[in-house]
Amino acid sequence: MSSSLDKLRAAMEAASPVQGDKKSYQDDRFWKPELDKSGNGFAIIRFLPTPEGEEMPWVSYWDHGFQGPGGWYIEKSLTTLNKQDPVSEYNTSLWNTGVEANKEIARKQKRRLHYVSNIYVVSDPKNPDNEGRVFLYKYGKKIFEQLKEAISPQFEDENAINPFDLREDGANFKIKIRKVDGYWNYDKSEFDKTAPLSDEDTLTEVFSSVHSLSDIIAPDEFKSYDELKEKLNRILGRDGQAVSNSTAESIAEDLDEVPWSDVNATAAAEEPVIASAEAPLKEGDDAMDYFKKLATDS
């Protein structure tokens, strides 16, 4: 009896967090820029080519991030996989009531689009230890539009570049962040002049360090429809479920997934909610076609 209790005590002590320790939910594969004391941010990165065996140098996915009476709902949307998603269905029903108050709720709960690419960190003044390393980088519509602009310039005096090339056809990307109306703004960010990232040996080493992108949107990275529906009902306090059973740790984990710094929230809020349904990802414009050509030719 005494021996069994001693083993239990030892196991419990080992499992208990040390006072002052904070559990981290940060995925070390991902890199994030940081602001300095003046509220500005600066870093230089290089977007990396398509990982071997994959189709494109980025993946994109939808998610939802909002707070209800039962806590935070932070989950990837099944519409990414061309499947029905309970939040999209609920938002559609709210929107179709025609009631402005319901439409406003749907707007606040609408999907957010994210992109993820491999990058090489050239310069990171806030965290120099990141320099010379390969990371995943999650970004929003604003930076994706800048990538499209790089390959399809609007003016005749601008030359197209391949932003995912490590050699002469590519260029470093200078991330410049300002706070505008409380949100991170990337409008000042720009590509440098085209130049190889480094010598061939280093390029080979860099490319061998890229992370899988397809894993990020693999089906097992998404909860099932029933799991999401149960969580949505709990967050909204529907169907007689408890208003809140969130713990401090679960809230911290959810909040860590909210990419407040990775998207232009002001621009996202201006996008209309689709009344009939929140459609899955679509491709087809010239820039997307050109991206595919680059991936095929590389």
Contact predicate 127/30, CB 8 Å: no
Is 8 within the bounds of a domain? no
> Dihedral through CA 35, CA 39, CA 45, CA 47, nearest 10?
100
Query: Got the DSSP string for 193-238?
Result: ----SS-HHHHHHHHTTPPPSGGGG-GGGS--HHHHHHHHHHHHT-
Is 142 within the bounds of a domain? yes
Residue type for 272, please? P
Is 298 within the bounds of a domain? no
Residue type for 172, please? N
DSSP strands (E only) in 33-133? 41-47, 58-68, 71-76, 112-123
Domain limits at 161? 26-76+112-270
Is 296 within the bounds of a domain? no
Is 19 within the bounds of a domain? no
Predicted pLDDT of residue 1? 58
Q: Mean pLDDT over all residues of the chain?
A: 80
What is the C-alpha R_g of the chain?
22
Say what the pTM is: 0.76
Find the helix packing angle between 225-236 and 86-95, rounded to 10°. Answer: 50
In total, how many domains does the chain have? 1
Q: Which two tokens stand for residue 186?
A: 């990337």
- Give how far Cα 158 sits from Cα of 155, 169, 233, 287, Å: 6, 14, 51, 16
Residue type for 181, please? D
Predicted pLDDT of residue 196? 93
- Tell me how far apart the alpha carbons of residues 181 and 266 are, in angstroms, rounded to a whole number: 9
Predicted pLDDT of residue 156? 83
Beta bridge partners of 2: none
Residue 105 CB neighbour total at 10 angstroms = 19
Is 261 within the bounds of a domain? yes
- DSSP conformational letter for 257: T
Give the distance, in angstroms, between the CA of residue 240 and the centroid of all CA atoms in the same chain: 33
Predicted pLDDT of residue 145? 93
Query: Got the DSSP string for 107-165?
Result: HHT--EEEEEEEEEEEE-TT-GGGTT-EEEEEE-HHHHHHHHHHHS-SSTTS----TT-
Give the list of residues 6+ apart from residue 32 with CB closer than 8 angstroms, or none: 138, 261, 262
- Tell me how far apart the alpha carbons of residues 286 and 55 are, in angstroms, rounded to a whole number: 17
Nearest to 165 by CA among 59, 61, 290, 33: 290
- DSSP conformational letter for 39: S
Q: Which two tokens stand for residue 88?
A: 């999209």
pLDDT, mean of each 10-residue run, the chain (298 residues):
60 52 68 91 96 94 94 95 96 95 95 96 96 96 93 87 93 94 90 92 92 96 97 86 46 45 34 40 47 51
- Tell me how far apart the alpha carbons of residues 102 and 88 are, in angstroms, rounded to a whole number: 14
Is 163 within the bounds of a domain? yes
Write the pLDDT tens digit of every residue in 131-177. Answer: 999 999 999 999 999 999 999 888 888 889 999 999 999 999 999 99
Contact predicate 210/118, CB 8 Å: yes
Output the domain CATH number for residue 138: 3.90.198.10
Predicted pLDDT of residue 87? 97
Is 136 within the bounds of a domain? yes
Predicted pLDDT of residue 13? 57
